[in-house]
Amino acid sequence: MRAFFILIAAVAMALPAAAAEQPVELKKAPGLDKVEGNCSGCHSLDYIVMNSPFPSAALWDAEITKMIKAFGAPISEADAKTIADYLKANYGS
**Cβ burial, residue 89 (10 Å; 0-12/13-18/19+):** middle
d(CA 70, CA 80): 14
Domain boundaries, the chain: 25-91
Span of 3-7, 32-36, 54-58 with lowest mean pLDDT: 3-7
Is the separation of the CB atoms in 92 and 31 below 8 Å?
no
CATH fold of the domain at 25-91: Cytochrome Bc1 Complex; Chain D, domain 2 (1.10.760)
pLDDT tens digits, 36-82: 999 998 999 998 988 877 889 999 999 999 999 999 999 999 999 99
Gap between the Cα atoms of 19 and 82, Å rounded: 34
